[in-house]
Amino acid sequence: MVKFVEKHPLLMIVLVCVGIFLTHLDVLYVNIMEARNFISAREMLHDGNWLLTTMNHVPRYEKPPLPTWLTALSAFLFGIHNLSALRLPAALICIALILTYYKLILEFFKNTKLAFYTALILATSFYIIFSGRNGQWDIFAHGFMVISIYFLLKMLHRSNRWYYVILSGLFFGCAFLSKGPVSPY
């Protein structure tokens, strides 16, 4: 078993993340922040207004729209009354954050064990589990920012720099569209 883990650390991280973030997403009760976010996504689908977010048909411009768009898209695909569908985008960005963090540590330190252990520690930390299993918007900003930082690091170590600059800028923009200036700070 140890040899398998050493040969396939990414697969093990994915299996751990699937177990933590994708199973029983509908078990926990909806908290007040989730309810606000899910109402905005539901109204986006119901009213067909994908540009401006609302809550109870009152403009909700304090929250950037990207997580609402992703949640509304998931609700459109899997059902607006499916709690797992509403929480799925947060769980997926959390998994992307952890996998990117693994790649970031691997790129920076060139140590597979260190990258594996730190990714598992990140995956099992309370804040990440809470944010990834609830429809919280903060995890989107943090996830997109870690991806942006990863591409910035790749830019420093590779010859095809413009490609990585563009990807980093794209994910930086996604982080900004997820929570405003919180994550860049």
5-21 confidence digits (pLDDT tens) = 889 999 999 999 999 99
Angstrom distances, CA of residue 63 to CA of 16, 101, 115, 138, 172: 31, 26, 33, 10, 17
In three-state secondary structure terms, 20 is helix
What pLDDT band is residue 135 in, cutting at 50, 70 and 90? Answer: confident
Higher pLDDT, 135 or 122: 122
What pLDDT band is residue 151 in, cutting at 50, 70 and 90? Answer: very high
pLDDT score at 5:
83
What pLDDT band is residue 2 in, cutting at 50, 70 and 90? Answer: confident
CA distance 178 to 69: 10
- Residue 94 in this model has a pLDDT that exceeds 80: yes
- Residue 3 in this model has a pLDDT that exceeds 90: no
Q: What are phi and psi for residue 27, nearest 5 degrees? A: -80, -45
pLDDT score at 46:
94
